[in-house]
Structure 1
């Protein structure tokens, strides 16, 4: 049990003690008022009269002493039952309601009824409420009071209804608060999940390309230990540059993650790639030794004015396709076609042969294309890929279409 729970338990005990004292004082006040002829709840001085309301089945006279030490003891003991109202609300309420028909314990009974309504189900509350209202109906049926005497059962019914109604109101308020708190927690969990997914996509997009270049060249050096010095030097340079750029991009991502989530921090995010950056991406892959046939059928002006979402998504699609080609078909030629214009959309087609039995130099998670399809769908586009077989072997084809609204 932590300190908050201990503090809450202490507060509840203090409240229960104050409730017991207050209910006892009110019960004594009601007892004194009844000696002056003022009654607020039906009270039966004979068991036979009470039983008559159930059809006069039996006669059960009993002696009731409502004054002196015994009466005071009953009031104190009855009010003390409220100390256990949280643990056993229904038994406490039933006992106090029944005792209220003989002794002036209606204040304690009202507190018990309030507790039942606040923390117990509706059916239980209805049953206990009906039991509390039954003496009011029996009082009218047995005694046939005058119009003036009807005030007692009416006041009793109003008090019972008020206590139960207030308990139901507080229970509804508590349930709505808990529901709102649960919804807020779920929204926070969903937001954190979306943030984690965005971070995972960003880490994959920014680092997988660089690390694949690094791994391919390192693997090539490993499988070709007798390579000429010039080739080794070139591969080492690519490895160094790729590692340096990967480190810079990782620092940019981590810098955004460490920054507080404000509008300023969002505006300070690292620059995102655009459609024009595809040329640089392809040239970078060619420098690393990739054989890429690139057809960029978009005018420079249209590429400069392409929507940021379209350009960024297109860049990530091509980046992932080239990365997969290096991982799963190293040394194989890649055909890349990007075409489109405002109002017609942007089409991306990537094809590369897959060599049977080829060794993959770069391990992968297998989730790149899945995440890419999700990213494309979020941008309003479509992406599909398949492995086609012909006489020359298998070829992996990737086709994507992105929206490009007219200017």
Structure 2
């Protein structure tokens, strides 16, 4: 038991352990007794009083005991019964006092047993070992000084020792059971807290995934719409054919943006998981040609250098990341370098990885102001890192801008 009570103690929070060890924490104020505590304390008091009355009756029948000794014994026994009500507040002090009182007063035996039981319940084994051991060591001396006329000396000593050991063992069993219940309750609370934290983390990750999806899907469409609308605003004298083409791009981009937004909102309303949202609309590397064609139809100059022989062989996660990087880089080039020819280069083989580079020269005209949060490249860097690759971006020597990404493909080689 000594090795069982100690290791479990660290598992319990101070509020729970305070119920067993009232003096164990920094706040030693005793909580109010519950109804159950009052019932238990009353039963312990009545048991001590009952044993006190039995011992008093036996003591008064002994004619060889001086009357003064009898009165002193009874007074000590009565006071010991009253002290039982202090057992929760001072279990160690009461047990120590009852070792001394129980040695000189036979009527205090019931209160001594209650004190030992309380000590075993509310204190670790080291207290029980010292105080209980002292109590057991005094038993032979007690019956040698005050022999029992109904039992022989050996029988009296054995009976008293067995009774004391039984009371201590019962108290330690109660303490062990309470510690186990408190430990299980604490584990249940910890499990509930961890489950709640996992649920909150899952919700946060789902919100981030949806936000990323909305940015990736809508930013491309809305940038087309904003650029062409800005061109119409700043060039009202443009040729009729160019105005018609820009209006068509605006109409088509707005229609597709609304369609994408409707699908994303449908995911939110249906409460689909992140995996379901990913399966719903996740382009792969094979859709890169369609993305470039869409940009060209919108009037953007894009030079595609596609040197991946079999795009379908690229892992799905790597292909999706490469597509999103190309989409965001082309969108940024359209916003910040209108009219410039953008070069999109894609190379890679299994084992060496996939390299994607998007480069644009300095803008030839003043770009149309387009609002942006500046989070696109940050999100792309995070995407590439999560895939196991890397992404770098910055200005080129001629004043242009370059986005360069390396993504693992097959056997991961050294990052270039």
Q: What is the TM-score with the length of structure 2 in the denominator?
A: 0.70
Q: 2:286 aligns with which of 276, 294, 297?
A: 276
Asked if residue 318 in structure 1 is aligned to residue 323 in structure 2, the reply is: no
Show the counterpart of 1:307. 315
Matches within 5 A, 1:373-384: 373-384=381-392
Q: 2:132 aligns with which of 132, 136, 144?
A: 136
Show the counterpart of 1:25. 43
Q: Deviations over 1:229-259 (max 9, x none)?
A: 3322222221111111111111112222222
Distance 1:286 1:315 in 2: 16
Q: 2:183 aligns with which of 172, 179, 188?
A: 172
Q: Secondary structure of 2:43's match?
A: helix
Show the counterpart of 1:225. 236
Q: Secondary structure of 1:225's match?
A: coil
Asked if residue 163 in structure 1 is aligned to residue 174 in structure 2, the reply is: yes
CA contact (8 A) 1:327 1:363 kept: no
Give 1:132 shift. Answer: 5.9
From the superposition, tell whether residues 180 and 107 of structure 1 become closer, same or farther in structure 2 (CA, over 3 Å). farther
Give 1:25 shift. Answer: 2.9
Matches within 5 A, 1:232-381: 232-261=243-272, 266=276, 269-299=279-309, 302-355=310-363, 358-359=366-367, 361-381=369-389
Give 1:113 shift. Answer: 6.7
Matches within 5 A, 1:79-118: 91=89, 93=91, 97=95, 104=110, 110=117, 114=121
Give 1:291 shift. Answer: 1.1
Asked if residue 204 in structure 1 is aligned to residue 220 in structure 2, the reply is: no
Give 1:309 shift. Answer: 1.4
Can you give the 5+ residue segments of structure 2 that lack an aligned partner in the other structure?
A: 1-30, 56-70, 102-107, 142-153, 412-416
Show the counterpart of 1:388. 396
CA contact (8 A) 1:338 1:349 kept: yes
Q: Deviations over 1:34-80 (max 9, x none)?
A: 6557xxxxxxxxxxxxxxxxxxxxxxx9664488xx789x56x955x
Stretch deviating more after TM superposition (25-34 or 168-177)? 25-34
Distance 2:362 2:96 in 1: 87
Distance 1:360 1:100 in 2: 92
Give 1:351 shift. Answer: 0.5
From the superposition, tell whether residues 213 and 100 of structure 1 become closer, same or farther in structure 2 (CA, over 3 Å). farther
Distance 1:239 1:100 in 2: 94
Distance 1:233 1:108 in 2: 98
CA contact (8 A) 2:285 2:312 kept: yes
From the superposition, tell whether residues 64 and 239 of structure 1 become closer, same or farther in structure 2 (CA, over 3 Å). farther
Distance 1:298 1:259 in 2: 38
CA contact (8 A) 1:111 1:163 kept: no
Give 1:320 shift. Answer: 0.6
Asked if residue 153 in structure 1 is aligned to residue 149 in structure 2, the reply is: no
Q: Deviations over 1:376-401 (max 9, x none)?
A: 22222222222122xxx312112122
From the superposition, tell whether residues 268 and 335 of structure 1 become closer, same or farther in structure 2 (CA, over 3 Å). closer
From the superposition, tell whether residues 175 and 339 of structure 1 become closer, same or farther in structure 2 (CA, over 3 Å). same
Q: Deviations over 1:159-200 (max 9, x none)?
A: 342333333323332332333233323322322222222112
Distance 1:328 1:31 in 2: 94
Stretch deviating more after TM superposition (199-208 or 223-232)? 223-232
Q: Deviations over 1:98-151 (max 9, x none)?
A: 78666545558856874x5xxxxxxxx44xx66666553343444534641322
Show the counterpart of 1:7. none
Aligned length, in residue pairs: 342
Matches within 5 A, 1:51-66: 64-65=74-75
Can you give the 5+ residue segments of structure 1 that lack an aligned partner in the other structure?
A: 1-12, 38-60, 83-88, 117-124
Q: Deviations over 1:315-362 (max 9, x none)?
A: 101001001112222222101111234444322111012349954522
Q: What is the TM-score with the length of structure 1 in the denominator?
A: 0.71
CA contact (8 A) 2:339 2:365 kept: no
Show the counterpart of 2:61. none
From the superposition, tell whether residues 380 and 132 of structure 1 become closer, same or farther in structure 2 (CA, over 3 Å). closer
From the superposition, tell whether residues 63 and 107 of structure 1 become closer, same or farther in structure 2 (CA, over 3 Å). closer
Show the counterpart of 2:414. none
